[in-house]
Structure 1
Amino acid sequence: MRAAVFHGPGDVRVEEVPKPELTEPTDALVRVTHTAICGSDLWFYNGDSDREQGSRVGHEPMGIVEEVGEDVRRVEPGDRVFAPFVISCGQCEFCRKGLHTSCVNGDSWSGENGGAQGEYVRTPHADGTLVRVPDRYADDEDALESVLPLTDVMGTGHHAAVSAGVEPGSTCVVVGDGAVGLCGVLAARRLGARRIVAVGHHEDRLALADEFGATDTVLGGEGDEVEQVLDVTDGGADHVMECVGAASSMDTAVSVCRPGGTVGYVGVPHGVDAAGLELYDFFGDNVTLRGGVAPVRAYAEELLADVLGGTLDPAPIFTKTVDLDGVPEGYRAMADREALKVLVTL
């Protein structure tokens, strides 16, 4: 089969690799029809994080089940499915708590599983990991493009909103205008926020935030963004969503959070450590910090119902579509900020 393979910073190639096979009775083999390139994929692509050269890449698969192990009960060949970015068993202590990203039997999509930016993936713990799309939507391309973000960014944006405590009638601030931040705007609207302030550095992305339900937008680089947010919100917000992961974005988040409020963070810490985090800002105003890597499997069914019901549509985050051969170009376009998020169709 063919799959995207990492060969070093700026070098992703589509190559022939061994097709994965079932190895456990709880496995399923899925033929990938849709996947995506994630902002977190740019870390290794840009040389900002280490990754083994020759490894397969991608973690947002959707496709058709082709084969299942003898112990798989929830899906069968022919089913349309999607999978979160982390494999989970669905049965351990942490999965039962809704913390699937801490699954004691968890796994990733790289290595021998196939890499999700490729033609096939082997899914360990298929019953715990795969989410079935109802048959009537199995070939509805518009619906499928709206469902695909549930593999990662929509569930992650939702986790930011939940962690920040967003509730009906509340005011919230979303720091970050990447795909996760924009999905955070959607999530805040879905949870009933009355006021949603989106903070970012790209006019086109903030325009999309406006379409997604932001009531106000603040463009960084045009004056002090903290002061702008404080002015717009009349002193800050009780619910702040940090969707970037940089020290500067965390500083912005805590600076615009009202005393006693909560910062929900899902931006993977990048260049942030305990020494670089001003804990006194949290301590002095009794600001709570909640969040972490998003257990998107815990949110999959409820978000899927809203997508298929027509009340939630994250598909506009895809601003470029490529086929499998176009994956290297997709990486380049995202790295050069020519695309927000790239959809890959096989």
Structure 2
Amino acid sequence: MRATFIHEAGDVRVEDAPDPELREPTDAIVRVLLACVCGSDLHPYHNRPPSDGPASIGHEFLGVVEDVGSEVSGLRPGDLVVSPFVYADNTCDFCRAGLQVSCRHGGYYNAEGVGGGQAEAVRVPQAQGTLVRLPVAEDSPLLPSLLTLADVYGTGYHAAKGGQVGPGSTVTVIGDGAVGLMAVLAARRLGAERIILMGRHRDRTDLGREFGATEVVPERGPEGVERVRELTGGDGSEAVLEAVGLRPAYDMAVGAVRAGGVISRVGAPQYVEAPIGWDSLFSRNVRLAGGVAPARAYIEELMPAILDGTVEPGRVFDRTVGLEDVPDGYRAMDRREALKVLVRP
């Protein structure tokens, strides 16, 4: 089969790879119909050293079950399924608590013996607990929106849940990438009254307004923080959803949150330390929440509104490439020529 590998920073290639095979009785093989490039895929695209060697890449996909192991029930060949970006048995104590990213028998795609999602097919460990059947046909126009359940929509929703967003909330979302826009959509779905989107790319913030943002702040740094405080009567927001993962975004979150509020981080942190002491969080009773999103916990909750057309999170995909052109998709996202790239193997 053909699959995507990253060799070093800036060097993504589509190459021949062995066809995936069942290794454990809990495995399934999925033929990929749709995949995509995640903003977090750009971190190794920027930083991966040559000494690490090539590795498969991609963790968001949906497709058709081709084969299942002897211990897999509830799934059969021909089923259309979506996979969250972390596989899990969905039965251990962590999974039952809604924390599938900490599953005792789970793990991440692209690890040893487990391929990536930007490929023609994927071996899915713990398939029964991981894969969710989709009640639509393979040619459904809803597939791009359903693909967002694999990661980006669930991650935005996790940000809003971590920020305790509810009816009447005032929320600031930092970042106009796909996750930030999904955080806007999720905050609106949870009843937020005001949603301030911090972003300066007009095409993205316009989509953010359609998803529910009530104000847009293009300024960054101290100027951006000051603008958020002006919009909130000097107090800042009850919840700040940080969807970038860079230190300047975290610092803006600290500045934009009100006393007693919550900072919910879902942008994969690209910094080692951040201040949490007296002058930043402690003296104002600010809570720090968020983390790796347990997307599997949210799929059944978020899917109905996609199926009935209430929401269209698939609108974040603004470019589509074939599998062989995935390197072009990385370049487009890196240059901010595309918000999020859809891949059709």
TM bucket, shorter chain? over 0.9
Q: CA deviation at 1:258?
A: 1.1
- 1:102-121 to 2 correspondences below 5 Å: 102-110=102-110, 111-121=112-122
Residues 1:51 and 1:59: Cα distance change in structure 2 (over 3 Å)? farther
Farther off after superposition, 154-163 or 113-122: 113-122
Q: Distance in 2 between matches of 1:320 and 1:248?
A: 28
For 1:240, the aligned partner's letter is V
Deviations 1:199-224 (A, max 9, x none): 01322211111111100010025980
Q: Is the 8 A contact 2:221 2:252 kept in 1?
A: no
- 1:65-84 to 2 correspondences below 5 Å: 65-84=65-84
Q: CA deviation at 1:99?
A: 0.3
Secondary structure in 2 matching 1:259: strand
Which residue pairs with 2:332 in the alignment?
333
Which residue pairs with 1:247 in the alignment?
247
Which residue pairs with 1:5 in the alignment?
5
- Unaligned segments of structure 1, at least 5 residues: none
Deviations 1:248-294 (A, max 9, x none): 11111121111111111111111241xx4243211010001111110
Farther off after superposition, 46-55 or 323-332: 46-55
Which residue pairs with 1:277 in the alignment?
275
Structure 1 length normalisation: TM-score? 0.95
Farther off after superposition, 307-316 or 173-182: 307-316
Farther off after superposition, 326-335 or 101-110: 101-110
Deviations 1:298-319 (A, max 9, x none): 0011111111121221111111
Q: Is the 8 A contact 2:7 2:50 kept in 1?
A: no
Q: Distance in 2 between matches of 1:319 and 1:218?
A: 23
Q: Is the 8 A contact 1:87 1:108 kept in 2?
A: yes
Deviations 1:51-100 (A, max 9, x none): 83221111001100011111111211100001011111111111111000
Which residue pairs with 1:89 in the alignment?
89
Which residue pairs with 1:138 in the alignment?
137
Q: Is the 8 A contact 1:30 1:67 kept in 2?
A: yes
Q: Is the 8 A contact 2:9 2:50 kept in 1?
A: no
Q: Is the 8 A contact 1:242 1:253 kept in 2?
A: yes
Q: Is the 8 A contact 1:247 1:272 kept in 2?
A: no
Q: Is the 8 A contact 2:177 2:339 kept in 1?
A: yes
- Unaligned segments of structure 2, at least 5 residues: none
Q: Is the 8 A contact 2:174 2:198 kept in 1?
A: yes
Among the aligned pairs, what percent are the same residue? Answer: 51
Which residue pairs with 1:186 in the alignment?
185
Q: Is the 8 A contact 1:20 1:112 kept in 2?
A: no
Q: Is the 8 A contact 1:5 1:13 kept in 2?
A: yes
For 2:125, the aligned partner's letter is P
Q: Distance in 1 between matches of 2:83 and 2:221?
A: 40
Which residue pairs with 2:170 in the alignment?
171
Q: Is the 8 A contact 2:200 2:219 kept in 1?
A: yes
- 1:11-50 to 2 correspondences below 5 Å: 11-47=11-47
Q: Distance in 1 between matches of 2:26 and 2:291?
A: 28
- 1:117-128 to 2 correspondences below 5 Å: 117-128=118-129
Q: Is the 8 A contact 2:9 2:49 kept in 1?
A: no
Which residue pairs with 2:147 in the alignment?
148
Structure 2 length normalisation: TM-score? 0.96
Q: Is the 8 A contact 2:101 2:107 kept in 1?
A: no
Q: Distance in 2 between matches of 1:16 and 1:327?
A: 14
- 1:192-341 to 2 correspondences below 5 Å: 192-221=191-220, 224-234=223-233, 235-273=235-273, 276-280=274-278, 281-341=280-340
Q: Is the 8 A contact 1:94 1:103 kept in 2?
A: yes
For 2:316, the aligned partner's letter is I
Residues 1:49 and 1:294: Cα distance change in structure 2 (over 3 Å)? farther
Residues 1:148 and 1:51: Cα distance change in structure 2 (over 3 Å)? farther
Q: Distance in 2 between matches of 1:334 and 1:91?
A: 37
RMSD, matched Cα: 1.5
Q: Is the 8 A contact 2:276 2:282 kept in 1?
A: no
For 1:74, the aligned partner's letter is G
Q: Distance in 1 between matches of 2:179 and 2:272?
A: 19
Residues 1:48 and 1:56: Cα distance change in structure 2 (over 3 Å)? closer
Residues 1:222 and 1:248: Cα distance change in structure 2 (over 3 Å)? closer
Secondary structure in 2 matching 1:67: strand
Secondary structure in 1 matching 2:39: coil
